[in-house]
Structure 1
Amino acid sequence: MANAHLRSKIDIRPALTLLISASLMLGAGSAFAENGPGKKMPPPIVPIETVKAASVTIHQTFSGVTLAERQVDVRAQVSGILKTRAYVEGQKVDKGTPLFVIDDKPYVAALNEAIANQSSAEAALNAAHRNWNRIKTLYSKGVASVKERDDAQSALEMAQAAVKVAQAKKVAARINVDYTRINAPIAGIAGRRTVAVGNLVNVGDTLTQIEAIDPIQVILTTSADNPYADHPALKPGPDHPILATLLYGAEGTKRVDGKLNYRAVSIDPNTNSITLRGIFLNPDQALQPNEFVRVNVAVDKLDAALVIPQTALTSGIRPGSHAVYTVNSQNKITLTPVELGPMSDQGQVIKSGLSAGQRIVTDGLVKLRPDIVVEPYKAGKEKAGKE
């Protein structure tokens, strides 16, 4: 009985296996019938665009750094004790704004001495004039000798020269008095003082620095290999202003219009680059020196360019090449090689490979392969239930 029971269990297992396998095959056959060759997959739904010729502007964007339009060191022109700082550090000052005062007492005394010396020289000149007139009269009457006449004339000339020396010394003394009051030589932002009040300053000591930042300069570079490096659009001159737009702030959202006003004569051999300079208004001092910015310049204009969205580009067959999917009248796509031109304000310029009137796929290229049929809709419009 035990052996019979064991044989019964062994006989049932192969039967169950066979039954399960048959069920799986039946299900697979049903699925194959639903998705097999008898029923095609729906074509991919893709946006398309008709290639058109248009006038476009070619822009190039350069990285640069801002610099003060003028930077002046404010230096002492006389020695003395620094008595006063009359400005607020880091604030805007106008030309002529008082900045520092140096003790002027010794220079006022020197000026008073020079004034007195001039008065003395003028008195001596008057005496020399009177003596000359007297000797000249006596000489004409034969009373005075030639030597007396010559001595009187020489004394007059020396007195005249002494007055001029005294006048010059008075002017120099007055200038030194004026130098004790140091005013802003230009308008701009006055920096930190470098000498504290109460210290002795000497001639030539730097007391502060003023930076004129309205307008502000931008120094930028472009590669000598740039195809537009020798284009007139990057060669500013007095009769050839080049308009430019400075981009700054988060993601370049802030813009200031200006112009390029300088181009270096030679190429930097270390970096193979050409230096350019732009000038931009900065009335609110929003831009500070040594700030990294970008400058956008219109370098060319094409009258009949073929322009496509960058999203329409894919890799070509050859490494480093580019292609687009063109769509024929039966909505069949072909991988078409293209040669790229420059980027424009409207999209990617195509140098060769396309013609006006051709239709191209503008997005969703990853799900495509050559020679399949697609269901197109016009780019920029809703797919209208074609999900």
Structure 2
Amino acid sequence: MEYTPMATKIWPVPLALAVSLAALGLTACGGDQPQQQQQGGMPPAPVTVAEVDSENVTYFGEYAARVRGAREVEIAAQVSGILQERRFDEGTEVEEGETLFQIDPEPYEIQLATARAALSDAESANRQAQSEWDRVSGLFERDAVSRRDFEQAQSNRDTAQASVARARAALQDAERNLRYTRVESPVNGMAGSERVTVGNLIQSGMTLTHVTQVDPIRVHFSMPESDAFRHRSAHNNESADDVVNKAWAILPDGSEYAEVGEINFIDPRIDEQSGSVAIRAEFSNAERQLIPGQFIRVRVVVGQYDDVFMIEPTAVSQSRDGAQVFVLDGDAKVRAQPVELGPVIDGRQLIINGLSSGDQLVINGHVALRDGADVQVTNQGNGES
């Protein structure tokens, strides 16, 4: 029987050698790549810097406001009677003490005459009682009358004196009521329309018209809690300028009112619903440009800051510890500098603390920076902010 051996598969020598060399090459490349990255590192980040200088800043705020009279008085009748006459033109200026209405005075003239007569009777009775008292007291000192007669004379004298006092009070009341038939303006101002026409019977306490004092005039507005806190701090600062107490009115047409106002009231409480503080300023209004009820805007000083820095808001970033900026530390590194922020004024961020005059502030290219990072300043020698 013939024996047939099994066939054996033999790799060609060139192909096996190529596979081995490829494996060795991959191993070599994998070992060299991390070493090359560690030796090379990241290139310095390109940044733009600007030199900062401190300055004194006055922060103004502008708020919606409503004009009101310095005094707004409801003119009411103080006695009852027939409204006999109106003595003013509606919508015109009236003066303090000017008679606006006349109520029929005849009933009160009669009351006054009656009160005068009653006072005369009381004074006559008082003279008689006083004379009797003088006589009886003299006799009592000489034991010529009894104690009962003495005490009776004394009681009659006291009663007569009390009657005189009551009669005088009734006379004063009658004089007052007669005077109240002339309804007068308690202030200088603009009179409103009549509420009751002539010929009507009016009762005491009924409103007849109103008078609004327009010079000086007041402007009422509200300031957000944060601004109110800054304003109050500036107001309490002994070194603050008087400008902190001033106010400027912006008229509806956008023009600025010529007179500068004075803040004369700041509510000590914060409104819980709106989170704002009510403030009032007073203006001279001789030309009557400001009208009660008018809607305007008012500009006031919110705060004053000395030796602070104004920078672009985009230069500020946030870290775990709060706001920070990057400043150049030497020629090729940056330092993360914590800063205390103030308000944004006219589009620029106020920095209260954290910067010094002459610092080179990174204004572009800081987004991916970290403290101590290497940088390449692209505008070296051009420190304009």
TM range (shorter): 0.5 to 0.7
For residues 52-81 of structure 1, give each alpha carbon's deviation from its aligned partner in whole angstroms, at most 9, with x where no partner exists: 765443211111111121111111111111
Alignment of 1:38-53 (within 5 A): none
Q: In the alignment, what sits opposite 1:116?
A: 117
Q: In the alignment, what sits opposite 1:278?
A: 281
Distance of aligned partners of 1:203 and 1:251 in 2 relative to their CA distance in 1, 3 Å threshold: same
Distance 1:236 1:110 in 2: 62
Q: In the alignment, what sits opposite 1:217?
A: 218
Q: Contact between 1:248 and 1:255, CA under 8 Å: does it hold in 2? A: no
Q: Contact between 1:97 and 1:183, CA under 8 Å: does it hold in 2? A: yes
Q: In the alignment, what sits opposite 2:27?
A: none
Distance of aligned partners of 1:266 and 1:132 in 2 relative to their CA distance in 1, 3 Å threshold: closer
Q: Equivalent residue of 1:283, what SS?
A: coil
Distance of aligned partners of 1:193 and 1:140 in 2 relative to their CA distance in 1, 3 Å threshold: same
**What 5-or-longer segments of structure 1 have no aligned partner?**
1-48, 319-338, 361-372, 374-387
Q: 1:344 Cα deviation (Å)?
A: 5.1
Distance of aligned partners of 1:343 and 1:215 in 2 relative to their CA distance in 1, 3 Å threshold: farther
Q: Normalised by the size of structure 1, how large is the TM-score? A: 0.64
Equivalent position amino acid for 2:297 in 1: R
Say if 2:66 is the partner of 1:65: yes
Alignment of 1:187-226 (within 5 A): 187-226=188-227
Distance 1:235 1:158 in 2: 62
Q: Contact between 1:188 and 1:210, CA under 8 Å: does it hold in 2? A: yes
Alignment of 1:22-101 (within 5 A): 54-101=55-102
Distance 1:183 1:78 in 2: 13
For residues 187-246 of structure 1, give each alpha carbon's deviation from its aligned partner in whole angstroms, at most 9, with x where no partner exists: 111111111111111111111111112222222112224485465236799x98611211
Q: 1:272 Cα deviation (Å)?
A: 2.0
Distance 1:290 1:161 in 2: 53
Equivalent position amino acid for 2:250 in 1: L
Distance 2:228 2:153 in 1: 83
CA RMSD in angstroms comes to 4.0
Distance 2:117 2:169 in 1: 13
Distance 2:194 2:133 in 1: 58
Say if 2:284 is the partner of 1:288: no
For residues 89-115 of structure 1, give each alpha carbon's deviation from its aligned partner in whole angstroms, at most 9, with x where no partner exists: 111212111111111111111111111
Distance of aligned partners of 1:51 and 1:129 in 2 relative to their CA distance in 1, 3 Å threshold: closer
Distance of aligned partners of 1:152 and 1:316 in 2 relative to their CA distance in 1, 3 Å threshold: closer
Say if 2:264 is the partner of 1:261: yes
Alignment of 1:224-243 (within 5 A): 224-226=225-227, 229=230, 231-233=232-234, 242-243=245-246
Q: In the alignment, what sits opposite 1:247?
A: 250
Q: Normalised by the size of structure 2, how large is the TM-score? A: 0.64
Equivalent position amino acid for 2:253 in 1: A
Distance of aligned partners of 1:225 and 1:216 in 2 relative to their CA distance in 1, 3 Å threshold: same
Distance 2:148 2:104 in 1: 52
Q: How many residues are treated as equivalent by the alignment?
A: 292
Distance 2:170 2:62 in 1: 59
For residues 133-187 of structure 1, give each alpha carbon's deviation from its aligned partner in whole angstroms, at most 9, with x where no partner exists: 3334444555533322322222222112211111111111111111111111111
Identity of aligned residues (%): 32
Q: Contact between 1:53 and 1:356, CA under 8 Å: does it hold in 2? A: no
Q: Equivalent residue of 2:159, what SS?
A: helix
Q: Equivalent residue of 1:251, what SS?
A: coil
Q: Equivalent residue of 2:124, what SS?
A: helix
Q: In the alignment, what sits opposite 2:302?
A: 299
Q: In the alignment, what sits opposite 2:167?
A: 166
Distance 1:157 1:350 in 2: 81
